[in-house]
Chain A
Amino acid sequence: MANEWDVSGNAAASRTFDGPTGWRKFYNNHRDVIIAAIILGPMLFWWMVVSGFPTAFGFLLGFFKWGEITASPKFVWFDNYIHFFRDPQYYMALWRSIWIGLLVTGLNMLIGFLIALLMNLSLFGKAIYRTMWYVPVVTSVVATTQIFNIFLDINNGVIDNLIKRLGYEPILWQYSVGWGVFWIVVYSLWKGVGGMALLWLAGLQAVDPILYEAAEIDGANRLQKFWNVTLPGIKPIATYAIITGLIGAVQIYEQVMFITLGGPYGQTEVLVFRILRDGFFDFNMGMAGASSVVLFAVVFIFTVFYFRMFASDNEKSDPRRGRRKRQ
């Protein structure tokens, strides 16, 4: 494949007075498109296989009734969607996904921000603190949910043993909806807050120190500096964190799958877990497809909201942004 620039030694020597001809001329005129096609072609094909095609398929699935993997699917228009909003099992699962997602994201951001503020102080041994707080993020979900299950075990649970030793009645965590949600939220916070703190920390450290100096010269105190310099400075990262956090949080299911298994009586079931149950265990492909489209609609609303906020914010705050010109 000829991929030399036209000014390279060989091409320059062999070039006629009229300039390069044939393939070389074609290549020189369309260099960018050709290289892009060579690189993006296989990538796009791969992407179609693992993401594009299955996603499109998933959207179509919502319009079919498909009970068994061997039976042929039947087109039922919007029946699955109508069923979704009539059956409390489904819309309650969606509602649970949203409010648990909001709760987890809110607490995560708040705690993460306070921790990041403390990490931003020039403390002795802050690399150790950073590592300690980030440890849960790198751990495996299956391994750590097992530990949570050991803590909450009915027979020999660590927390119940502690409660018994203090002289109170042990709590049957698995039989209570409130406690089930509580432990799901606690696990999510434990796993997520370190990453959020590090994200905030990156945002805090990206604020231009000159702005602080300028504020100091203007006689601003600590609180004023925080309010007028720090907060506007971290706004882009805040928007990013809120929206990606929400998008991630409405999709939590591993906690539910491994800690409460949706119980008691499906009362802690979130939508993604329900989709998995429909798809892999009950072979109700149509409802799984329809539910995931509804979930996508929720995520899409968050995403549009995000791009609105993020894009308008960039235009205002960064005049250098805009199409970069070559030459």
Chain B
Amino acid sequence: MKVKPINLFGHIILLVGGLVMIYPLIFMVLASTFTKQEYAATVLGPFPIAIKPTFANFRIIVGAAKDHLVQIYFFNSLFRTLYSVVFASLTAFLGGFVFARLRFRGKDGLFLFMLATAMIPGVVALIPTYIEYARWPYAGGNNIFMGGKGILDSWWVYMIGGPALNIMGAFLVKQSMEKVPIELDEAAKIDGASTFRLIFQILLPLQLPILAFIAITTAQATWNDWGTPFFFTSSDKLQTLPAAITRISSIATSAGVPDYPLMITLGLGITFPMLLIFFFFQRFFVQGLANAGLKG
């Protein structure tokens, strides 16, 4: 079998570069088998091998810890992610439907406005959002605007904020839905389908690839989002996995030597589910990107 030189070159670059890309993960897997004492005593090389490998760190994450906080973090992350995925897909799909299929005055203006505001840096709204949450009317001990902590440090922070509302997703769905011929709607109309049925039984199945793309990217964004818990919550019961890493590191440091292997294992625990999701749904990524109306 003869290999073309350009293909050989491609194999070498992609393999070597790809190994560099996943190297930090390899390091994480290796380091997670250390105990705290052995880790502190080892002069770390690029590929640290534990003399006495242990799965104690994994066991702590899966449920051996006394306070079960990691389980709480995990379920917070999971529920939050599910919630965001459901609502982001729903808002993206319905918004996309409105802007692709309905006609009303001011539609284009409204759409451009919403899209333009999606370009505003998130940090502009971050501090005002904090104040808004703290002054939320009649919540968390507020008499109208003042007095308590508002909805800060409560589940409402995750319900309202974060990636649960997806304007960019509406844009993607709009682009994708405009490729579906309008005659399909009319045929359904003539066959007696209600609007509800048209939206959910006829248009929805055709948008599943782009919705899968939106769902996966939202799942990633929410799962990895450390900002919302970091800025808007403080109690232990509300933390998610990424926010917990920063916490564990500060708690561990105050007790002396930081428990790096445990932190690394937790990091692996965060990364692994997203890797699996990407691995199984990667065709939607390329499809989604190609569908996003960016074709030449």
- A residues contacting B by CB (< 8 A) are 3-5, 7-9, 31-33, 35-36, 39-40, 43, 46-47, 49-55, 57-59, 61, 69, 115, 118-119, 121, 123-124, 126-136, 138-144, 146-148, 150, 156-158, 161-162, 165, 190, 194, 198-199, 201-203, 205-208, 232-237, 240, 247, 251, 253, 272, 275-276, 279-280, 285, 288-289, 292-293, 295-296, 299-300, 303, 317, 324, 326-327
User: B278 in the interface, Cβ–Cβ < 8 Å?
Assistant: yes
Q: Is B289 in contact with A240, judged by CB distance below 8 angstroms?
A: no
* Known contacts A61-B127, A236-B295: A115-B271 contact under CB 8 Å: no
**A-contact 0/1 string along B42-69, CB 8 Å cutoff:** 1111100000000000000000000000
Contacts of B98 in A (CB 8 A): 35-36, 39-40
* Known contacts A123-B7, A251-B123: A47-B165 contact under CB 8 Å: yes
In Å, the complex CA distance between A165 and B296 comes to: 51
Q: Is A35 in contact with B102, judged by CB distance below 8 angstroms?
A: yes
Q: Is A235 in contact with B296, judged by CB distance below 8 angstroms?
A: yes
Q: Is B165 in contact with A35, judged by CB distance below 8 angstroms?
A: no
Across the interface, B121 reaches (CB within 8 A) one of A50, A140, A161, A251, namely A251
* Known contacts A5-B189, A115-B17, A142-B246: A236-B296 contact under CB 8 Å: yes
A-B contact pairs, 9 of them (CB 8 A): A47-B167, A132-B18, A140-B270, A190-B20, A203-B294, A205-B290, A280-B127, A299-B119, A324-B178
In Å, the complex CA distance between A210 and B81 comes to: 43
Across the interface, B21 reaches (CB within 8 A) one of A190, A233, A293, namely A190
Across the interface, A234 reaches (CB within 8 A) one of B102, B178, B296, namely B296
Contacts of A247 in B (CB 8 A): 119
Residue of A nearest to B167 (CB): A47
Q: Is B275 in contact with A232, judged by CB distance below 8 angstroms?
A: no
Q: Is B126 in contact with A279, judged by CB distance below 8 angstroms?
A: yes
Contacts of B243 in A (CB 8 A): 142
- B residues contacting A by CB (< 8 A) are 6-7, 9-11, 13-15, 17-22, 24-25, 27-28, 31, 40, 42-46, 91, 94-95, 97-98, 102-104, 107, 110, 114, 116-117, 119-132, 134, 160-161, 165, 167, 178, 182, 186, 189-190, 192-196, 220, 223-224, 226, 231, 241-243, 245-246, 249, 260, 263-264, 266-268, 270-271, 274-275, 277-279, 282, 285-286, 289-290, 294-296
Residue of A nearest to B127 (CB): A279
* Known contacts A51-B125, A54-B129, A206-B295: A143-B270 contact under CB 8 Å: yes
Residue of B nearest to A153 (CB): B44
In Å, the complex CA distance between A150 and B22 comes to: 16
Contacts of A32 in B (CB 8 A): 102-104
In Å, the complex CA distance between A125 and B116 comes to: 40
In Å, the complex CA distance between A121 and B135 comes to: 56
Q: Is A144 in contact with B195, judged by CB distance below 8 angstroms?
A: no
State the Cβ distance, B264 to closest chain A Cβ, in Å: 7
Q: Mostly helix, strand, loop or mixed at chain A's interface?
A: helix
Contacts of B271 in A (CB 8 A): 138-140, 143
Q: Is B129 in contact with A121, judged by CB distance below 8 angstroms?
A: no
Contacts of B289 in A (CB 8 A): 198-199, 202
State the Cβ distance, B261 to closest chain A Cβ, in Å: 10
Q: Mostly helix, strand, loop or mixed at chain B's interface?
A: helix
Q: Is B286 in contact with A201, judged by CB distance below 8 angstroms?
A: yes
Residue of B nearest to A143 (CB): B267
Across the interface, A135 reaches (CB within 8 A) one of B6, B25, B116, namely B25
Q: Which 3 A-B pairs give the minimum distances between C-beta atoms?
A: A143-B267, A132-B18, A57-B128
Contacts of A140 in B (CB 8 A): 223-224, 226, 241-242, 245, 267, 270-271, 274
Contacts of A136 in B (CB 8 A): 21, 24
* Known contacts A8-B192, A143-B245: A55-B296 contact under CB 8 Å: no
Q: Is A47 in contact with B114, judged by CB distance below 8 angstroms?
A: yes
In Å, the complex CA distance between A43 and B111 comes to: 13
Across the interface, A292 reaches (CB within 8 A) one of B7, B117, B124, B189, namely B124
Q: Is A54 in contact with B165, judged by CB distance below 8 angstroms?
A: no
Q: Is B128 in contact with A138, judged by CB distance below 8 angstroms?
A: no
Residue of B nearest to A240 (CB): B294
State the Cβ distance, B167 to closest chain A Cβ, in Å: 7
Q: Is B245 in contact with A135, judged by CB distance below 8 angstroms?
A: no
* Known contacts A138-B274, A143-B245, A198-B285: A237-B117 contact under CB 8 Å: no
State the Cβ distance, A274 to closest chain B Cβ, in Å: 10
Which of B17, B31, B296 counts the most chain A CB atoms within 10 A?
B296
